[in-house]
Each structure stands twice: as structure tokens, then as C-alpha cells.
Structure 1
Amino acid sequence: MALEQYIQRIDDKLHLLLKKLQQVQAENVLLKEQLQAQEETLAARDETIAALENKLHLAKMAVATQGTPSSREDDEEFRKEMRNKINDYIKEIDRCIALLNS
């Protein structure tokens, strides 16, 4: 009798363990879905932030090109920024030309 009771307890514990495993797996799936949703939300926010930063940058450049910098430092900063932007464009054009030639 003791052996049958021992086996029954092990069987009960096994069923309980399997039930907990299923619960943990279901929770894991739910958490993965929530993580995916949060990552998508974060990516959308990052895109929005990048677009707004770009608009702000363009607005600053537009104000600076109107010839009304608030100080000589702003004018020099604008020139450096414009040089860097032009150099970036030239590098990108050179890469495109290299790709077309290859």
C-alpha cells in the first residue's frame, strides 16, 4: 500500500508540475507579445522623434539662412553645420556613383 500511495503522490506532483509548466508557458507567450508591442511602440516613437528633430534642424537652418543670426557664434556654428551637411551629401553621392560604376 505504501508504494501505491508514494506513486500516487508522485503522479499528483507531476500533474501539478505540468499544470504550472503550461501556466508559465502561457505567461511567457503573453509577455513576448507585450514585449513585441512595446518594441513596436518604441520604434514608432523613435521614428517620430527623429522626424521632429529633423524638422527642428531644418527650421534652425531656415532661420539661420535668413541672415539674422543672434550672434557671431551662431553664424560660425551654422557654417560648420552646413559644411558638414554638404560633405555628407557629397560622400553619399560618391557612394552612389561608386555603386553605379561597379
Structure 2
Amino acid sequence: MALEQHIQRIEEKLHLLLRKLQQVQGENTQLRMEMLEQQQAIDQQQQIIAGLEERLQLMKLASAQQGIGNNNEHAAENEAFRRDIRNKINEYIREIDRCMALLNG
């Protein structure tokens, strides 16, 4: 009889462990889903930030161009503006080249 009781206690403990395992697996799945949702939200926010930074930079360039005008006293600012515009154009060209490479590849 003692052996049957011992086996029964082991089976009960095994069933308890299996229930706990299922519970932990369920929690793990739920946490993974929450993590994925949060990562997607972070990605969206990063895209929004990148777009806003782009707009801010363009607004700065536009306001710098308007403030400079054709006055020779602002030659250094004018050159900085031209350099910024060249850099921006080069950045766009690199991005276009990357897109073309992806389309051709």
C-alpha cells in the first residue's frame, strides 16, 4: 500500500507541475505578444520622430535661406546654407540609389 500511495503522490505532484508549466507558458505567450505590440509602437514612434526631424531640418534650411537673402555680409551663412542643401541633396541621392539597388536586386 505504501508504494501505491507514494506513486499517487508523485502523480499528483506531476499533474501540479504540468498545470504550472501550462500557466507559465500562457504567461510567456502573453508577454511575448505585449512585447511585440510595444516594439511596433516604438517603431511607429521612431518613424514619426524621423519624419519630424526631417521637417525640422527642412524648416531650418528654409528659414536660413530666407534670412540670408542676397546680402554679402552673410556670406558665411550663405555658404553654410549651400553646404547644408548639398548635403541634403546628396543624402536624397544616396537613398534613391539604395532604393534602385533594392528594386534591381
TM-score normalised per structure 2: 0.75
Alignment of 1:17-36 (within 5 A): 17-36=17-36
Structure 1 unaligned residues grouped into runs of 5+? none
Structure 2: how far apart are the matches of 1:11 and 1:98?
62
Q: CA deviation at 1:96?
A: 7.4
Matched with 1:85 is 88
Output the TM-score relative to the length of structure 1. 0.77
1:38 aligns with 2:41: no
What is the CA distance between 1:80 and its match in structure 2?
A: 2.1
Larger relative contact order (C-alpha < 8 A, sep ≥ 6)?
Answer: 2
The alpha-carbon deviation at position 49 of structure 1 amounts to: 0.4
Closer/same/farther in 2, CA of residues 97 and 7 from structure 1, 3 Å limit? closer
Report how many aligned residue pairs link the two structures. 100
Cα distance change on mapping 1:74 and 1:26 into 2, 3 Å: farther
Equivalence for 2:53: 53
Distance 1:13 1:23 in 2: 15
Q: 2: CA distance between counterparts of 1:93 and 1:68?
A: 30
- Residue segments in structure 2 that go unaligned for 5+ positions in a row: none
Query: Share of identical aligned residues, percent?
Result: 55
Instruction: Report the Cα offset of residue 25 of structure 1.
Output: 0.8
- What is the root-mean-square deviation in Å for CA atoms of aligned residues? 3.1
Judged with a 3 Å threshold, the aligned counterparts in structure 2 of structure 1 residues 73 and 11 are, in CA distance, closer, same or farther, namely farther
* Partners of 1:38 and 1:25 in 2: CA distance: 20
Once residues 74 and 60 of structure 1 are traced to their aligned partners in structure 2, the CA distance between those partners, rounded to angstroms, is 12
